[in-house]
């Protein structure tokens, strides 16, 4: 199964955003994180705040968002990706994942992620094919899928899985 447009053909559902990872290349291919435009709530125009230390290497800072002090996640650290050594321009991006709870009610789950600033916008479908999880990924259960596109490896994050053990903001029923 490759990444493709949803059956209803709505315009915004067919747009995805690709953010470069701050990680080493995998077999000469750039590593990118994929999110739908519905998942990206906004880009914060502020610094990531103080670096944190202690409990989790997944958390690289904290900042205030919608009145809450929230941790900022490093998806690279969550997956165990090796650092590429270069410092990319980065943004703090608010990401949302929608899911159904045990009562079958829709819930929104939010996270702040430190992502590469060189964002690309693509329309689905685009040429890609699924591949096995690269051996450089130490936490494969944090992924929904891995795809290859030309000179890139695309990672589709399982945000709910990542946030299960971390601080998060969860809103009530939609």
Tens-level pLDDT at each residue, the chain (174 residues): 555 544 444 445 589 999 998 876 777 888 999 999 999 998 887 655 555 554 567 888 888 888 877 778 899 989 988 765 555 678 899 998 888 889 999 988 888 998 888 888 989 878 888 999 888 788 889 999 999 988 899 999 998 888 876 744 444 445
Query: Hey, how many other C-beta atoms are within 10 angstroms of the C-beta on 2?
Result: 14
Q: Which pLDDT score, from 0 to 100, does residue 13 have?
A: 59
For residue 162, give the H/E element and its range. Answer: helix 159-163
pLDDT value, residue 170 = 45
Show Cβ contacts of residue 108 under 8 Å, excluding neighbours closer than 6 positions.
96, 97, 98, 170, 171, 174
Residues 69, 112 contacting (CB under 8 angstroms) = no
C-alpha count within 13 angstroms, C-beta hemisphere, residue 2:
10
At CB < 8 A and 24+ separation, what contacts does 25-29 make? 25/84, 26/134, 26/136, 26/153, 27/134, 28/151, 29/148, 29/151, 29/152, 29/153
- Taking Cα atoms as reference points, which of 166, 125, 149 lies closest to residue 26? 149
> CA quadruple 120, 16, 2, 116: dihedral positive or negative?
positive
DSSP 8-state code for residue 104 = S
Q: What is the pLDDT of residues 95-106, one digit of tens each?
A: 988 888 899 999
Give the pTM.
0.80
């Amino acid at each position: 199964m490759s990444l493709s447009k949803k059956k209803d053909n709505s315009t915004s559902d067919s747009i995805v955003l690709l953010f470069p990872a701050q990680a080493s290349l995998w077999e000469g291919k750039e590593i990118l994180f994929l999110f739908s435009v519905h998942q990206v709530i906004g880009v914060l125009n502020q610094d990531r705040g103080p670096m944190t230390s202690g409990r989790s290497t997944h958390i690289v800072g904290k900042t205030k968002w919608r009145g809450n002090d929230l941790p900022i996640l490093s998806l690279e650290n969550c997956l165990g990706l090796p650092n590429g050594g270069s410092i990319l321009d980065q943004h703090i991006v608010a990401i949302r994942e929608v899911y159904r709870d045990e009562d079958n009610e829709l819930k929104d789950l939010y996270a702040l992620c430190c992502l590469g600033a060189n964002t690309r916008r693509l329309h689905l479908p685009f040429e890609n094919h699924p591949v096995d999880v690269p051996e450089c990924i130490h936490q494969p259960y944090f992924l929904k899928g891995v795809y290859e596109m030309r000179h890139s490896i695309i990672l589709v994050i399982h945000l709910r899985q990542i946030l299960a053990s971390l601080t998060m903001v969860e809103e009530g029923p939609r």
